[in-house]
Amino acid sequence: MERQEVRARIESIGIIPAIRVSSAEDARFAATAIHCAGIPVAEITATVPDAVAVISDLRRSIPDMLVGAGTILDVQTAQRCLDAGAQFLTSPGLVPEIVEFAKRKKVAVLPGALTPSEIIAAWNAGADLVKVFPCAQLGGDSYIRALKAPFPDLPLIASGGVNQQTAFAFILAGAAALGIGAELIPKESVQLRQEERIHELARRFTKMVRDARSRKSAA
């Protein structure tokens, strides 16, 4: 899948589930659960044990799922993830070498940024989308709305502090997508294999994204 297609699909789905769990088995369960719930994308963070193997397994077992690698801090890890089949790379901050590496490899890259200067730097470096992290600490949806004034056409992912109380507002403020971790994939639900609870949370967040976009388009 070309990087433009990956960006378009992420924006269409509107949610990037960040899977940050304590075992490879838990990661596989979580990814399968969200896929079954209708969210065909997952970010497997590099902090997951055997994350590279998990990425490879998911690409084989769920071929229609968009699988990315998250918390990528160095080019070596990025290369291993791409070799395993990762279709996009994310990082919590702007690491210019990773953005440049992704451009060379023609892979979508979603670097983190916080300030306007960092966002400009990330976009100019070649980011496909910019992950504003952590959002909640700087005002939540009001911060996204403030950023969209000078950057109306720049696709921003709201990440950090996205939950059932804030998701709708983040999309309404102009976020192209939401990065959601434990609020979508609770630790206890993974440990207890509560697949239906994850399904219900996925349905709720998906509806929030859909409803917020409908309101924006009607405004």
Instruction: Please give the pLDDT value at position 78.
Output: 98
Rounded CA-CA distance 132/154 in Å is 11
Burial of 153 (0-12, 13-18, 19+ CB in 10 A): exposed
How far are the Cα atoms of 20, 46, 87, 212 from residue 64, in angstroms, in the given order? Answer: 21, 22, 12, 26
- Please provide the average confidence, as pLDDT, over all residues in the chain: 97
Name the residue with tokens 């990082």.
91
Catalytic residue at 43? yes
- Residue of 1, 70, 3, 2 lying closest to 30 (CA atoms): 70
**How far is it between the farthest Cα atoms of the chain?**
46
Give me Rg for the CA atoms of the chain.
16
The residue from 5, 11, 43, 105 that is catalytic is 43
Task: Write out residues in the chain with pLDDT < 50, as ranges.
Answer: none
Other CB atoms within 10 A of residue 96 CB? 12
How big is the chain, counted in residues?
219
pLDDT digits (tens, 9 = 90+) for 183-196: 999 999 999 999 99
Instruction: Please give the pLDDT value at position 219.
Output: 76
Q: What is the pTM of this model?
A: 0.96
Instruction: Please give the pLDDT value at position 174.
Output: 97
What's the CATH number for 3-218? 3.20.20.70
Rounded CA-CA distance 144/159 in Å is 10
Catalytic residue at 131? yes
The residue from 100, 103, 131, 187 that is catalytic is 131
Q: Where are the domains of the chain?
A: 3-218
Instruction: Please give the pLDDT value at position 138.
Output: 87
Name the residue with tokens 């279709």.
87
Confirm if 41 and 16 have CB atoms less than 8 A apart. Answer: yes
Instruction: Please give the pLDDT value at position 153.
Output: 95
